[in-house]
């Protein structure tokens, strides 16, 4: 059968394919994202359907599991997010906004990994000189670091096959291309096929590979969704542009939990780990000011304290304005409704703002109580006590519901020098004896009780 090239239109945002051009992608609703790409409809696809009879299966009991070799990256925060280090042969996708520090963190770990392995750093974005200048700044000078400025995926794979480095970094996958595919670098087909090539290479030679992926304007990884299915780990680097703190989060991890976060600070000599994020997040808390309360949120296995600020002012227009940063907007509306109906605090003709300091996102119901206390405190203009923090989920009846990991949260509060912690009353029963006594634990049943205990 003669090979025939067919043209399809692929959405650059979500990877949706259509045989004809469309102004608006039916899958993700974006406009002007359908680009023409040529796909070869021959050999490679038909080959899969013809069985060569070489498929083999192994008994699960006979498969050796001892191969999961992990090695550290020299950054404990990164190791934690990866689930205890990089697994041999894994493919990791690191993504995040431009300028957030993806290239910086990868170059930084080269120094440590270079002590035991050769590292191949492939850059399609920067020149070797630029990388050298940055490496100088970061103090990376190992002889085991090889820099390659290339964008041809196949020749890079060829090099990896012959030289077999111990660790490979591809910065970034959007610049990689395969010559045979006619579409331009960064297009859906190119990104998908290049990732497939690197994945096969990583598995075949057990070389851990990190690829950098750009994000589109919505903050999702640019390119096809399949990219996230192919790789073993997806890491997101987040942070506010104007703040120096960066949070590394695992969205997918085949070798560990996805709840862990790593906290870094961008300094003039690269990223520094922040081993004690609670301290950093609450350090600037104003004294004797109303409308601020400390919350404790679980990020994976680690409790982190954060400052929640609420501001309530009389609205000049009929409808109160609500705004929230770092806390779910709909949950804020719900909390305000509960406070109004169940606790007797009226917000309907007031503007209410909530802000979580440090760019942290509170997505856990256990932080409800701190948000409510910050808002009430601002409404009444009474400061919450300095030595007090609060955890608890608020139900629609204004009651406090039990929270998980209560002991860990209490221990973290105690470690940071808090004297009193307000928890839902039901949680008191579950606490072990050893923890009681170190810090005053106040059990409350509803929001009003909690507020009275906190001022
Ligand atoms: P970079 O790693 O190039 O971002 P990405 O690869 O994610 O696009 O990070 C660049 C930013 O980091 C840039 O704004 C400057 C800043 N930076 C520092 O503040 N200190 C440093 O030591 C380095 C290397 C970068
Ligand atoms: Mg970069």
Q: Using the atom order of ligand 1, give the atom closest to the CA of residue 97.
A: 7
* pLDDT tens-digit profile, the chain (455 residues): 455 677 888 887 777 888 899 999 888 888 888 888 777 655 444 444 555 567 888 888 887 776 677 888 999 989 989 988 999 889 999 998 888 899 999 999 999 999 998 999 999 999 999 999 999 999 999 999 999 999 999 999 999 999 999 999 999 898 999 988 877 787 888 888 899 999 999 999 999 999 998 886 666 666 656 688 889 999 988 877 677 788 898 888 988 887 788 889 888 888 999 888 888 778 888 888 999 999 999 887 788 899 999 999 998 877 889 999 989 999 999 999 999 999 999 988 899 999 998 778 888 999 999 999 999 999 999 999 988 999 999 999 999 999 999 988 998 888 888 999 999 999 888 887 777 667 899 999 999 999 999 88
Nearest to 174 by CA among 39, 323, 12: 12
User: Is this structure's pTM higher than 0.85?
Assistant: no
Nearest CA to ligand 1 atom 2: 101
Nearest CA to ligand 1 atom 10: 99
Give the ranges where 305-393 is alpha helix by DSSP (H): 329-338, 368-380
Burial label for 171, CB within 10 Å (0-12, 13-18, 19+), is: buried
**How many A from CA of 134 to the centre of ligand 1?**
9
Can you read off the two tokens belonging to residue 259? 């709840």
Ligand 1, CB cutoff 6 Å, lining residues: 96, 98-104, 134, 137-138, 266, 268-270
Q: Buried b / exposed e across 135-154, counting CB within 10 Å, b at 16+? A: beebebeeebbbbbeebbbe
Task: Measure 242 CA to ligand 2 centroid, in angstroms.
Answer: 18
Burial call 381-395: b when 16+ CB within 10 Å, e when fewer: eebbeeebbbbbbbb
Shortest-distance Cα residue to atom 8 of ligand 1: 99
Nearest atom within ligand 1 for CA of residue 104:
2
Please give the Cα distance from 352 to 377 (Å, whole number). Answer: 12
Superfamily of domain 68-275: P-loop containing nucleotide triphosphate hydrolases (3.40.50.300)
**How far, in Å, is the centroid of ligand 2 from the Cα of 180?**
26
Q: How far is the CA of 211 from the centre of ligand 1 (A)?
A: 17
Domain covering 280-454 assigned CATH 3.30.230.10 in the classification: yes
Ligand with an atom nearest the CA of residue 175: 2
Atom 13 (ligand 1) nearest CA: 99
Query: From ligand 2's centre to the CA of 214, what distance in Å?
Result: 9
> CA 297 → CA 290, 404, 425, distances in Å?
21, 10, 18
Residue nearest to atom 23 of ligand 1 (CA): 270
Provide the H-helix boundaries in 115-209.
128-138, 153-163, 188-205
Ligand sitting nearest the alpha carbon of 264: 1
Nearest ligand to the C-alpha of residue 133?
1
How many helices and strands (H and E) does the chain possess? 13, 23
Q: Atom of ligand 1 at shortest distance to CA of 100?
A: 7
In this structure, are strands 388-390 and 393-394 parallel, antiparallel, or unpaired? unpaired
E-strand ranges in 319-367 read 322-325, 350-356
Which of 95, 99, 127, when mutated, tests ligand 1's pocket best, judged by the most ligand atoms within 8 Å of its CB? 99
Cα 359–371–437 angle (5° rounding)?
Answer: 100
Mutation probe of ligand 1 site: the residue of 104, 124, 127, 237 with most atoms within 8 A of C-beta: 104
Please tell me the distance between residue 212's alpha carbon and the centre of ligand 1 in angstroms.
Answer: 14
Residues around ion ligand 2, judged by CB within 5 A, are 103
C-alpha 123 to ligand 2 mean position (Å): 9
Residue bearing the CA closest to ligand 1, atom 25: 270
179 CA distance to ligand 2 middle (Å): 23
Shortest-distance ligand to the CA of residue 238 = 1
What angle in degrees, to the nearest 10, is found between the helix axes of 368-380 and 329-338? 60
> 352: closest CA among 373, 336, 328, 368?
336
Closest-CA residue, ligand 1 atom 11, reads 99
Tokens representing 127 are 């020149």
Q: From CA 426, how far away is CA 373, in angstroms rounded?
A: 19
Which of helix, strand or coil describes residue 258?
A: coil
Cβ distance 160 to 132 under 8 Å? no
């Amino acid at each position: 059968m003669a090979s025939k090239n067919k043209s399809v239109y692929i959405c650059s945002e979500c990877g949706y394919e259509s045989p004809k051009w469309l102004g608006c992608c039916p899958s993700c609703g974006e406009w002007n994202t359908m680009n023409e790409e040529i796909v070869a409809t021959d050999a490679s696809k038909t080959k899969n359907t013809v069985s060569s009879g070489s498929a083999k299966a192994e008994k699960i009991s006979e498969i050796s599991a001892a191969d999961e070799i992990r090695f550290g990256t020299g950054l404990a925060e990164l190791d934690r997010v990866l689930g205890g280090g990089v697994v041999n042969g894994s493919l990791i996708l690191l993504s995040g906004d431009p300028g957030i520090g993806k290239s910086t963190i990868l170059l930084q770990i080269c120094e440590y990994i270079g002590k035991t392995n050769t590292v191949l750093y492939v850059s399609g974005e920067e020149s070797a000189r630029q990388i050298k200048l940055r490496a100088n700044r970061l103090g990376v000078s190992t002889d085991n670091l090889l820099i390659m400025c290339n964008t041809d995926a196949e020749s890079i794979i060829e090099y990896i096959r012959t030289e077999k480095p111990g660790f490979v970094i591809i910065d970034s996958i959007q610049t990689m291309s395969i010559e045979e595919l006619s579409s331009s670098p960064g297009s859906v087909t190119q990104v998908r096929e290049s990732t497939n090539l690197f994945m096969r290479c990583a598995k075949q030679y057990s070389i851990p590979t990190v690829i950098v992926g750009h994000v589109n304007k919505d903050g999702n990884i640019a390119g096809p969704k399949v990219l996230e299915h192919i790789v073993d780990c997806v890491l997101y680097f987040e942070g506010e542009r104007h703040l120096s703190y960066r949070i590394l989060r695992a969205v997918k991890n085949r070798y560990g939990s996805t709840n862990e976060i790593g906290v870094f600070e961008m300094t003039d000599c690269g990223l520094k780990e922040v081993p004690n994020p609670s301290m950093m997040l609450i350090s600037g808390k104003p004294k004797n000011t109303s409308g601020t309360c400390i919350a404790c949120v679980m990020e994976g296995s680690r409790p982190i304290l954060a400052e929640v600020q609420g501001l309530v002012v009389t609205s000049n227009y009929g409808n109160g304005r609500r705004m929230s940063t770092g806390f779910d907007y709909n949950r804020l509306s719900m909390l305000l409704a509960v406070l109004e109906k169940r606790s007797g605090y009226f917000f309907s003709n007031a503007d209410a703002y909530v802000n979580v300091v440090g760019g942290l996102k509170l997505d856990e119901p256990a932080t409800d109580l701190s948000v409510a206390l910050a808002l009430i405190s601002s409404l009444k203009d009474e400061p919450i006590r300095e030595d007090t923090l609060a955890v608890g989920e608020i139900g629609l009846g204004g009651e406090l519901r039990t929270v998980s990991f209560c002991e860990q949260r209490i221990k973290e509060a105690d470690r940071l020098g808090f004297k009193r912690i307000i928890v839902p009353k039901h949680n008191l029963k579950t606490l072990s004896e050893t923890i009681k006594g170190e810090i005053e634990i106040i059990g409350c049943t509803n929001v009003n009780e909690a507020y009275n205990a906190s001022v």
